[in-house]
């Protein structure tokens, strides 16, 4: 399942399934994730999720000043390290950034200093340009997002547009989204072994599908994109929110014009995401305006008893054009009656909970039923959002985002992202490790439903 803390504990208990030498399971590694203002948050969140699953991977979130950084959607992430304090890294991850950040002399100095010291480097999209500008890529073969390829070639770098990660020496370069995630799986496989990486690929249900690859659209934005009215998008945020469950949808929807995100919770404060960076709630439930799209990701079972959260979801879903529930977020939708009589999805560990809310279990990882979109963890967030975009704004818009903004071209490393692909042995191991969560969610959901009913009686 996708719940981050459980993944962390599971890996702590399962080091003997690794396909590599045992010592690499015990070795402590330091990983750094560069954060810049206006960055593509998914490049930090999704990749860090993969690495943080191992308990001996120490993750640093590095900003120029050590202060919090606001990404392109408005999500604010806490840093815990500044450029000048960065230790020698086993892995440095640099994601997509704004042109202003790309030209930042302090960033260039940081890269010039730290890239040679790092054992491995992942660079995503125009971060590959940043490495080239810092003089780090001479003689290496690289790739990036399509718009950056020509720029790299102008800088004299050997760059090709191949649609998947290129590994040359210690450099793992890629375009966005699936290619970036697969870079992380590759490095995890090298650092911690194939056994753990296969289990992680299954637990994250990494089985992406390009859903609009048969729709032919030019690289130029379709006319329909410009005609979309301004959108208000709400994301529920709580302590130990599993951030990748909403990050994919945020990545998709932030590519639409004139969107405004609200990161909504009990009160404006900083909260700890599950295994990820601390993030900030910017809007309390009572102050959130009517939303066009509501995103609900997995949270800890305690949130199923949070009446204010349940009331917010129920209230906002009445006028929202789309409601997206990912992983255990589907449970929260079920608690407020949104799944009754519908076909719904969640992570494969929790499917048996869905009939308790009057839902029929979908065998697919992503399903749309009316205006409710439900999905398995992490990567399902991308596909649920793309399906919602197709329904609300047309397939050409969804296809443009998928093909040209996300460059959604999956090449899973091990291809074990579903129980059917993983086989009985790996699937049963995953189910055993996660079996303790279902009773907790079921009991918490009962309590939450009872409390909600009492408030509306």
Do residues 347 and 271 both lie within one domain?
yes
pLDDT exceeds cutoff 80 at 20: no
Lowest mean pLDDT among 11-25, 85-99, 247-261: 11-25
CA distance 319 to 400: 27
Asked whether residue 393 is domain-assigned, the answer is: yes
Model pLDDT for residues 272-300, shown as the tens digit of each residue: 998 789 999 999 999 999 999 999 999 99
Residue 71: the pLDDT is 98
Same domain? For 233 and 175 the reply is no
Percent of the chain with pLDDT over 70: 95
Average pLDDT, stretch 141-151?
98
Please name which of 372, 347, 371 lies closest in space to residue 361, comparing C-alpha atoms: 347
What is the per-residue pLDDT for 10? 44
Q: Does the pLDDT of residue 12 top 70, yes or no? A: no
- Is the pLDDT at 362 greater than 90? The verdict is yes
Burial of 308-326, coded b for 16+ CB within 10 Å and e otherwise, reads ebbbbbbbbbeebebbbbb
415 in a domain, yes or no?
no
- Are 80 and 23 in contact by the 8 Å Cβ rule? The answer is no
The CB density around residue 375, as the number of other CB atoms within 10 Å, is 33
Instruction: Give pLDDT, residue 299.
Output: 93
Looking at residue 455, its pLDDT comes to 86
Q: What is the pLDDT of residue 220?
A: 86
Is residue 139 one of the residues assigned to a domain?
yes
Same domain, 242 and 163: no
Tokens read off for 88 = 């020698």
Count: domains in the chain: 2
179 and 244 part of one domain: no
Q: For 276-343, what is the HEC assignment?
A: CCEEECCEEHHHCCCCCEEEECCCCHHHHHCHHHHHHHHHHHCCCCEEEEECCHHHHHHHCCCCCCCE
Would you say 292 and 320 are in contact if contact means Cβ atoms under 8 Å apart? Answer: yes
Per-residue pLDDT at 15 exceeds 50: no
* CATH label of the domain that carries residue 111: 3.40.50.880
Alpha carbon distance 383, 365 (integer Å):
9
Same domain, 390 and 246: yes
In sequence order, the 6+-apart residues with CB closer than 8 A to the CB of 393 are: 224, 225, 228, 256
Residue that terminates a domain, selected from 408, 431, 448: 408
- Whether 6 shows a pLDDT value over 50: the answer reads no
How far is 271 from 241, CA to CA, in rounded Å?
9
The predicted pLDDT at position 2 comes to 46
Residue 350 DSSP one-character state? G
Looking at residue 457, its pLDDT comes to 64
The pLDDT value recorded for residue 21 is 53
- Please say if the pLDDT value at position 3 is more than 70: no
Residue 177 counted as domain residue: yes
* 17: confidence class by pLDDT, cuts 50, 70, 90: very low
Residue 89 in this model has a pLDDT that exceeds 80 = yes
pLDDT, one tens digit per residue, over 225-248 is: 989 999 999 999 999 999 999 999
Q: Where does a domain end: 177, 192, 207? A: 192
Higher pLDDT, 83 or 18: 83
The answer to whether residue 200 sits within a structural domain is no
Whether residue 376 is found in the same domain as residue 305: yes
Q: Which residues, including other chains, have CB under 8 Å from residue 190's CB and lie 6 or more apart?
A: 120
Given 393, 408, 423, the domain boundary residue is 408
Nearest 5°: phi and psi at 386? Answer: -65, -40
* One domain, residues 236 and 188: no
d(CA 148, CA 126) in angstroms, rounded, equals: 6
Residue 104 in any domain: the answer is: yes
Are residues 27 and 165 located together in one domain of the fold? yes
Same structural domain, 237 and 285: yes
Residues 6 or more apart in contact with residue 119 via CB below 8 angstroms: 89, 90, 91, 170
- How far CA 361 is from CA of 127, 252, 383, in Å, comes to 41, 26, 18
Q: Give 205's contacts (C-beta < 8 A, 6+ positions apart).
A: 2, 347, 348, 365, 376, 377, 378, 379, 380, 417, 418
Q: Which of 69, 15, 455 is nearest to 195 (CA)?
A: 15
Shared domain for 109 and 159, answered yes or no, is: yes
pLDDT in tens, 148-159: 999 999 999 999
Mean pLDDT of the chain: 94
* Residue 375 included in any domain: yes
Residues 254, 117, single domain; the answer is no
Confidence class for position 22, pLDDT limits 50, 70, 90: low
Give 401's DSSP letter: I
Residue 44 inside a domain? The answer is: yes
Q: Give the range of the structural domain holding residue 312, as residue numbers without chain letter.
A: 223-408
Alpha-carbon separation of residue 46 from 52, 178, 201, 244, 427 (angstroms) = 10, 10, 13, 6, 23
> Which tens digits make up the pLDDT trace of 342-353?
999 999 999 999
Same domain, 117 and 30: yes
- Which pLDDT band holds residue 26 (cuts at 50, 70, 90)? confident
């Amino acid at each position: 399942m996708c719940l981050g803390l459980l993944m962390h504990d599971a890996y702590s208990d399962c080091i003997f399934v690794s396909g590599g030498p045992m010592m690499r399971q015990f070795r402590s590694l330091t990983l750094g994730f560069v954060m810049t203002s206006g960055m593509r948050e998914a490049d930090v969140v999704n990749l860090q999720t993969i690495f943080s699953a191992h308990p001996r991977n120490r993750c640093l979130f590095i900003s120029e000043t050590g202060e919090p950084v606001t990404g392109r959607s408005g999500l604010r992430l806490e840093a815990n390290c500044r450029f000048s304090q960065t230790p020698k890294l086993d892995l440095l991850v640099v994601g997509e950034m704004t042109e202003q950040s790309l030209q930042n002399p302090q960033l260039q100095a940081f890269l010039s200093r730290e890239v040679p010291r790092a054992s491995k480097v992942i660079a995503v999209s125009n971060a590959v340009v940043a490495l080239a500008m810092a003089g780090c890529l001479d003689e290496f073969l690289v790739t990036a997002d399509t718009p950056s390829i020509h720029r790299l070639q102008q800088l004299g770098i050997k760059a090709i547009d191949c649609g998947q990660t290129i590994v040359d020496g210690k450099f793992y370069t890629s375009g966005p989204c699936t290619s970036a995630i697969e870079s992380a799986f590759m490095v995890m496989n090298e650092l911690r072994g194939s056994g753990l990486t296969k289990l992680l690929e299954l637990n994250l249900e990494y089985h992406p599908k390009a859903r609009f690859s048969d729709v032919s659209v030019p690289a130029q934005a379709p006319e329909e994109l410009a005609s979309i009215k301004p959108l208000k998008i709400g994301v529920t945020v709580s302590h130990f929110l599993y951030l990748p469950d909403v990050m994919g949808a945020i990545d998709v929807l932030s590519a639409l014009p004139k969107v405004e995100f609200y990161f909504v919770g009990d009160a404006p404060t900083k909260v700890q995401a599950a295994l990820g960076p601390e993030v900030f709630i910017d809007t309390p439930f009572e102050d959130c305006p009517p939303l066009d799209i509501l995103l609900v990701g997995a949270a800890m079972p305690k949130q199923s008893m949070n009446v204010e959260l349940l009331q917010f979801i129920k209230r906002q879903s009445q006028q929202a054009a789309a409601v997206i529930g990912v992983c255990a977020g589907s449970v929260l939708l079920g608690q407020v009656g949104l799944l009754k009589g519908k076909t719904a999805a969640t992570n494969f560990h929790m499917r048996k909970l869905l009939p308790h809310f009057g839902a029929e279990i979908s065998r697919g990882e992503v399903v749309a039923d009316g205006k409710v979109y439900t999905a398995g963890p992490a990567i399902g967030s991308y596909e649920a959002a793309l399906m919602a975009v197709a329904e609300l704004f047309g397939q050409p818009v969804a296809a443009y985002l998928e093909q040209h903004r996300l460059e959604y071209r999956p090449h899973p490393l091990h291809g074990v992202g579903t129980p059917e692909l993983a086989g009985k042995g790996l699937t049963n191991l995953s189910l055993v490790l996660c079996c303790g969560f279902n009773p907790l969610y079921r009991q918490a959901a009962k309590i939450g439903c009872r409390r909600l009913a009492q408030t509306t009686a």
